[in-house]
Amino acid sequence: MRIFLLLVLATVVSRADEIWLGESMARLGFSNNAPVREGQEERFERSNPRAVVVAERDKESITINGIQVDMERAVRAKAFKVKGQPDVIRLTIERCDYEKILVPLLWGPPAGSRRPLRIVLDPGHGGKDSGTVNPALNLQEKNLTLDLAKRLAVLLQQSGHEVLLTRSTDTFVELGDRTKFANQVKADLFLSLHFNAGPINRAAGTETYWLTPGGQHSTKDSANAGTVGQLPGNTYDALNINLAYEMQRALITSLGSTDRGTRRARWVVLKDLQCPGVLIESAFLSDATEARIYTQDAARQRLAQIIAAGVAAYEAKLRR
């Protein structure tokens, strides 16, 4: 009887779009080590043979196998009421984060998703648009992204893909034309390659972006919440998050760089895609240490291998 009462009450949270994290995880098969704990629940950890999920109160991201995934809204603490007993503080998440992040990542991509054969690589910037620059090291983002794309193309061809580039020379290509090209050639997958910029020597690490789901807000952009509805690229939300997560995981585990998150944004090159796609910011050219690494051919080749491994990890998830 006590257990029944707990289950009934557990589904009642004041806002309809807010759900108990423990309940959500139980639904995803993470119930085996999930006792209701007394007192303040600040940190939440659940595991099954495939994943360890950690959530912390007031954080706008969750970690899955140690990789940071940004969410629509921070994890919150709420009083969990059981009649005749003192309240227990437990964590809640937004229902849309359960549906758009936890379900596709922990249950895997939709059944029947086929392996991408034709991959379009998009070397960021080009021509009059140099992207970010590091004058001290004589580095321009447009040159690094093109070099990286060419190296990556060879590797992906070796693993049986057809690879096309949105530019193969130092030319300027409009953002919208990059997406149009991918759609015209009927790409199965789109990877936009970039290097990041921030306050000089004060920002470093790796970010992978997927298209923000319709009606939700992008990473660090809560002011824009709900102002943008469903975009064509949102057809692939469940695949996009899997691709972004596997890419970020490959990059972070192999590069050992700072994990700045599996992030959400409505980049122009992602929003009208008719296939899954992500935008990768491998490292900061504004950071002397990170930038110096990529002056070396061997480091760029290794980065290409890691991104190819990220694609392979995504494909392995499609087969499960």
Residue among 116 and 131 whose Cβ is closer to Zn ion = 131
Q: Please state the closest distance from residue 209 (CB atom) to Zn ion, in A.
A: 11
Q: Could you tell me the sign of the dihedral formed by the alpha carbons of 286, 254, 161, 232, in that order?
A: negative
Q: Please state the closest distance from residue 131 (CB atom) to Zn ion, in A.
A: 4
Residue 194 interacting with Zn ion (CB under 5 A): yes
Which part of the chain contacts Zn ion (CB under 5 A), choosing from 43-51, 70-78, 125-133, 293-301? 125-133
Rg (CA), the chain: 21
Residue among 97 and 207 whose Cβ is closer to Zn ion = 207
> How many Å apart are CA 279 and CA 269, to the nearest integer?
8
> What are the residues facing 256 on neighbouring strands?
none
* Residue closest to Zn ion (Cβ): 194
Q: Please state the closest distance from residue 141 (CB atom) to Zn ion, in A.
A: 5
Q: Please state the closest distance from residue 197 (CB atom) to Zn ion, in A.
A: 8
Return the closest-CA partner of residue 97 out of 173, 168, 36, 28: 28
CB-based contacts of 262: which residues, under 8 Å, 6+ apart? 67, 68, 69, 70, 208, 210, 241, 244, 245, 248
> How many Å apart are CA 281 and CA 264, to the nearest integer?
13
Q: Return the structure tokens found at 269.
A: 């090159």
> How many Å apart are CA 105 and CA 245, to the nearest integer?
8
Residue among 40 and 171 whose Cβ is closer to Zn ion = 171
Q: Please state the closest distance from residue 303 (CB atom) to Zn ion, in A.
A: 15
Binders in 251-280 for Zn ion, by CB under 5 A: none
Residue among 109 and 124 whose Cβ is closer to Zn ion = 124
Residue among 242 and 282 whose Cβ is closer to Zn ion = 282
Which part of the chain contacts Zn ion (CB under 5 A), choosing from 29-37, 101-109, 130-138, 221-229? 130-138
**Phi and psi of 258, rounded to 5°?**
-65, 130
Q: Return the structure tokens found at 47.
A: 């595991």
> Cβ(116)–Cβ(161) under 8 Å?
yes
Residue among 124 and 276 whose Cβ is closer to Zn ion = 124
Residue 131 interacting with Zn ion (CB under 5 A): yes
Q: Please state the closest distance from residue 140 (CB atom) to Zn ion, in A.
A: 11
Q: Output 167-174 pairs: Cβ under 8 A, ≥24 positions apart.
A: 167/123, 167/126, 169/126, 170/126, 170/127, 170/142, 170/143, 170/146, 171/126, 171/127, 172/126, 172/127, 172/128, 172/129, 173/126, 173/127
Residue 124 interacting with Zn ion (CB under 5 A): yes
Interaction pattern, residues 44-83, with Zn ion; x per rule: CB under 5 A: ----------------------------------------
Residue 310 interacting with Zn ion (CB under 5 A): no
Residue 109 interacting with Zn ion (CB under 5 A): no
Residues in contact with Zn ion by CB under 5 A are: 124, 131, 194
